[in-house]
């Protein structure tokens, strides 16, 4: 697996830390522990977390249940990422806790688009 940002392959450590952050974020959201104002986080799914080479930045791909109001929810998560990071610091023990960047996971939409194209060509 090659990192999109640099041409270096993704290390086992990046994958391991990314998975640990993903699971911790999932737990935080499921239990609504971050206390983000005007947002119920228990309907948010963390699909993937990609770590930077130095493990100081974590890009979390999230998707609300059903995909409703995804852009609004992502903006709210970005705005209150400091609260989420503070809660994460109690769950994950690391030398440097990564900065969390939230992004909408569009892989399901992309897969559906590809599936529809395949169906159209089979007709």
CATH code (residue 92):
3.30.300.20
The pLDDT, as a whole number, for residue 6 is 55
Q: Is there a domain that residue 7 lies in?
A: no
- Check whether 34 has a pLDDT greater than 70: yes
CA angle 97, 99, 100 (to 5 degrees): 115
Domain count, the chain: 1
Q: Which domain holds residue 71?
A: 12-122
Q: Is there a domain that residue 6 lies in?
A: no
The pLDDT, as a whole number, for residue 4 is 53
pTM assigned to the model: 0.80
| Cβ-proximal residues to 53 (8 Å cutoff; 6+ apart), any chain | 3, 5, 6, 8, 11, 14
The DSSP 8-state label assigned to residue 96 in this structure reads: S
Q: What is the pLDDT of residues 100-112, one digit of tens each?
A: 999 988 877 777 7
Q: Is there a domain that residue 50 lies in?
A: yes
CA angle 19, 5, 60 (to 5 degrees): 35
Q: Is there a domain that residue 17 lies in?
A: yes
Q: Is there a domain that residue 3 lies in?
A: no
- Check whether 71 has a pLDDT greater than 70: yes
Q: Are 44 and 64 in contact (CB under 8 A)?
A: yes
pLDDT range class, residue 115, cuts 50, 70, 90: confident
């Amino acid at each position: 697996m090659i990192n999109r940002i640099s041409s270096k392959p993704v290390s086992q450590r990046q994958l391991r830390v990314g998975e640990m952050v993903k699971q911790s974020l999932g737990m935080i959201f499921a239990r609504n522990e971050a206390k983000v104002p005007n947002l119920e986080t228990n309907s948010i799914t963390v699909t993937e977390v990609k770590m930077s080479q130095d493990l100081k930045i974590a890009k979390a791909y999230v998707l609300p249940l059903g995909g409703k109001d995804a852009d609004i929810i992502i903006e709210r998560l970005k705005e209150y990422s400091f609260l989420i990071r503070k809660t994460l610091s109690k769950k994950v023990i690391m030398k440097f806790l990564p900065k969390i960047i939230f992004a909408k996971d569009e892989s399901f939409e992309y897969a559906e688009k590809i599936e529809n194209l395949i169906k159209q060509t089979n007709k």
